Amino acid sequence: MLQSTLFRFFASLLLTATLMSATTADAQCSVFNKPAKAKTMKVDMVRTYAPCPNSQIFAPNTATSTGIPACGPAITGDYSSDSDTSFDFGAKGKCNAKLIRVVEDPCSTGSGVPCSNLKVKSKCSDVLLFGANPATGSGWELVLGLRVTMEDQTFPGSGMTLIDLGLENFAEVRFDFEPAINGKLKLKGDYASDAHFVCIGTCSGDPLIACDSDTVCSDLGVGTCQPGLGGCTPGADTPAPDWLEMPACANVEIVDMLVRDPNGQLFARPGLGGN
């Protein structure tokens, strides 16, 4: 089930990065604070685990040797449901992602004006099905949560921050991996050309609850799922609409990033770990 927008907002504070670069267009962009340079982001990724408590363990049921409350056993996969991914890292498993922010003039979307674009790369290896068979086939996705602050003529003299893009709030920003071969995943694309979006609506009885179908809202007793921004149909998967083009003067925060398996379950997220 989708988490509330408010919950996702606080969860997103755990991971925030800013992608900016000093360009001619940026030099003219002085209406909001930004770094002189932050054009590249590269991260390693680790397995996702459910928080404590979670959908299966409703309160801490154990503690560490130093007395810190904990939940055991650890649960991998999707922290918002009882579902778990069928995939694991093998002994040599790893996954990483790299984002580069560039200014295009004119934009590669064909709009004829400068814009910001994100170049996206990601690789994973030694990914196993049920811990034994190397992963094969399509359906793997890299999903980004973006918070964009930008300059716009409708609000002159100051920047404006858009509603968060992605991760069950407004529209998920997704990139498709190439079909997995022998446990290896590879992705290379960019926001302007390769990103696609799953429309997220809100429940009529509680606009803080995100939804992709009426079922989500009716199960909670909060009405029906209303259309998303721009009138998009909740749950629909479409290419990026023109009005989601990011201008050259933009500050792009990465508030979340994850790898989803072909069944839609969480597999990996930026972090630190290893043997």
Question: Is 100 inside any structural domain?
Answer: yes
Segment of 118-127, 233-242, 246-255 carrying the highest mean pLDDT = 118-127
Assigned domain for 103 exists: yes
| Span 131-160, pLDDT tens digits | 899 999 999 999 998 888 888 777 777 788
Q: Which residue has the higher pLDDT, 228 or 125?
A: 125
Residue 28 lies in a domain: yes
**Could you report the per-residue pLDDT of 10-36, keeping only the tens digit for each?**
334 333 444 443 344 444 577 778 888
The residue segments making up the domain with residue 12 are: 5-48+85-200+235-270
> Could you give the percent of the chain with pLDDT greater than 70?
83
Number of structural domains found in the chain:
1
pLDDT(45) > 90 = yes
Of the listed ranges 5-19, 77-91, 220-234, the one predicted with least confidence: 5-19
| 172, part of any domain | yes
Q: Which of 17, 7, 20, 6 is nearest to 255 (CA)?
A: 17
- 187 confidence band (pLDDT: 50, 70, 90): very high
The answer as to whether 32 is a domain residue is yes
In a domain, 225, yes or no: no
- Whether residue 6 has pLDDT greater than 50: no
Q: What is the pLDDT of residue 172?
A: 72
- pLDDT > 60? residue 76: yes
| CB under 8 A, 24+ apart: contacts of 10-15 | 11/256, 12/145, 12/147, 12/164, 12/167, 12/255, 12/256, 13/255, 15/254, 15/255, 15/256, 15/257, 15/269, 15/270
